[in-house]
Chain A
């Protein structure tokens, strides 16, 4: 193919590359971005140009259809691309989650950034290298087999001084080469060319601890967030939420705005009769002041929530909407009938909030026929589809530009705020920056579901598990969908009366214990309030994983204790997967675990020490966590002092990045296990700030986390963003039992609860 003859599609793709430079400056900050730019269509997944561009100066741009929630996933993706292309890592820039420049690879989703998102980038980079060698072969008059690549150039193997730089082989950065696309979008999307990627034994860049550049930029005040986007003529907006769940505004008095310069009220009226009241002003502080100056008379609906103290009784007695039994093995009923002993226990987990570092923020410019959206969402392409539905625009005329926001570990309020900002921009005819206030970001964000978990185990005379059942009952983890592709999945859509579209989903333990007879089941119950509930439930980091594992791995410990066995030996007797066995053994060895049953070496002082283990499998990742915990009997304070985390996620692309990702998981999950519980009364959520929704403080951080990262180059890289969150609560609970002989079956393990349990 003549590289200088380009299709229109390739020219457009090339211009996608030229839109950005290598400066850390974001070109859109403080400048007008042409809304829509309809001549730049969403990139097609079957074009190499949709994934890789090589510019004249040799700079490589990788277009990645996922985003970085906070662990720096762009670095390993850049490493994979640099590896396959044989260019230095620092020649590669990764563009993430801009719907005009990247294909829909699903956004942040299930820790699949590398596991799924890396696949097409790896194939595309390998294919790009193949095309570059082919072009050099024509130019040099040499067979491709006699050419090699290194440092961004194709060279003659027999005479390395004869070489052509990549930038001289691509006209305007484009390849104009087709890929084979599997026809899917989202996580399942795979596009590949003819080239075979490298074998892991050849890796020189993959496997290295290359640092993130954005942290350095941030330390020098040069890293921009979605909150920093300012467009010409932009209005700041704030919304007013109902004082109690389900209330609607009856009358609105905006006379108080007269004294606030240029502040005005905006009423959004929905098709179903719903209303959202907002205020806008050119100055942010005036918009915030205006919130307090508007007087609204609200309806007084009957309370829809039970008293919080009755939450778990409510779950126990609530009707079942859906029951599934995803795992049934053997004859469970008769296995329990012949068991020598039967142990049973029930565990409880509360509603939890994303409570992101700041409330959601989006900057949206809606024009006639198009919209440009700066959003910290985890799923920009699906959000684009939702905005297109909301605004009645074709999807290709809505551009969502993912821009880093406060850490986003699931379907947080970033999905709500973009929708609301879009409606306010359309209503005012101006770009709008909307940011939720602290109370809105905790009381009104979507929640992780509360649940109970019923466990039963039958032991034979040798203390082996012969019968096992695990049944969860709780609110659906998809009362609102996590994808934001429909306004009904968002708070403003529901407040405006657009309806809901809940689905029923929960989960079950993923650990492959080889119990001869077992049943794993889940049941969902109706939401406490159908529409626009501040307790609507959705995906929060490792959706329903921590609560299920808290129960299942606490219960394994209960079975081990009943059998009089050491908790690690007991697990090893029943775990099937050799990689699972590998992480459990590795964690025990690093910790210096001495064999004994739990709670058989209890101290007597005011401060007790215990050790606990928990094991987790999540998708293709295996984790064993061992923790040493101190419990102060007087205060009820639980302090996990030292962690050992053995982690096997296949091939490790960036060891230092993995280490910090695991540390973040352990601490975030410790916060959830020790402190986090959304408080509510019958009318409303009463967790509104960091006093009423406490999270982990630096004083409570462990002294040390030993990560034993098991690298398996023979296995594809799997996810690490969530798996090590999973075993944290059970490991701590098991350590508390070891220290005190008291079993905590309700999370979180707050000082008051621990004091009460020890009393």
Chain B
């Protein structure tokens, strides 16, 4: 039985029709709203590729049921635009951080909360704060350099 679920995403209000109120947020964002940047990596909350901000805090959207989402969701598309970029978006582009890029969403969204809470995070704090985000291509050093561009600024 389809149910109606309200959802605030990237500053806009939506009313979603879903078959299951426990649909993970990931599928609502991707398949109902066409917001592709939260990506399916594991479906287990282990890799971070699906990360979005919920009221500013990073959550793994693959394991967050829609029924538990009551705040404002921010995706990578809502973090900034080429005209009004988030500094991390500029830094990742300038540093050419990531290789295949499938994991990029997870790093930027997790780092967005980190640099807000620790604007001058050291490299050790960056590594600490980003534990459990996965990159399979081994682009970690470029990712650290990109985030350090922001925290060193």
Contact = CB atoms under 8 A, between A and B. Distances in A.
Given A690-B42, A697-B132, A225 B138 contact: no
Contacts of A228: 30, 36
28 contacts: A219-B89, A219-B104, A220-B76, A221-B79, A225-B39, A228-B30, A283-B31, A284-B30, A285-B20, A288-B43, A289-B20, A358-B40, A358-B42, A406-B102, A437-B43, A656-B96, A663-B138, A663-B142, A667-B138, A667-B139, A668-B136, A670-B138, A671-B138, A689-B44, A698-B130, A701-B127, A702-B141, A704-B141
Question: Top 3 closest A-B pairs, CB basis?
Answer: A667-B138, A407-B100, A70-B100
Interface string A356-377: 1110000000000000000000
Nearest to A408: B100
Given A220-B80, A283-B31, A697-B131, A227 B137 contact: no
B24 interface: yes
Given A695-B134, A698-B133, A667 B140 contact: yes
Contacts of A219: 76, 88-90, 92-93, 104, 108
Contacts of A71: 99
B101 A215 contact: yes
A698 B131 contact: yes
A407 B136 contact: yes
Residue of A435, A691, A701 with most chain B CB atoms under a 10 A cut-off: A701
B60 to A, nearest CB: 12
Interface in B16-59: 19-20, 23-24, 27, 30-31, 34-37, 39-44, 46-47, 49
Nearest to B77: A221
Nearest to A281: B19
A69 B42 contact: no
Interface string B120-146: 000000011011111111111111100
Nearest to A30: B34
B97 to A, nearest CB: 7
Contact of B42 (A221, A289, A670, A689): A689
Contacts of A72: 96, 99
Say what secondary structure dominates the interface of chain B. loop
Interface of A: 30, 69-72, 211-212, 214-216, 218-221, 223-225, 227-228, 230, 260-261, 283-286, 288-289, 355-358, 404-409, 435, 437-438, 656, 660-661, 663-671, 689-691, 695-699, 701-702, 704-705
Contact of B100 (A224, A406, A702): A406
Contact of B141 (A220, A223, A407, A663): A663
B103 interface: yes
A67 B59 CA distance: 33
Given A289-B20, A357-B47, A697-B131, A404 B100 contact: yes
A669 B136 CA distance: 11
Given A215-B101, A219-B89, A701-B144, A357 B136 contact: yes
A261 B3 CA distance: 12
Given A355-B136, A406-B136, A220 B85 contact: yes
A212 B96 contact: yes
B41 A358 contact: yes
Nearest to B86: A219
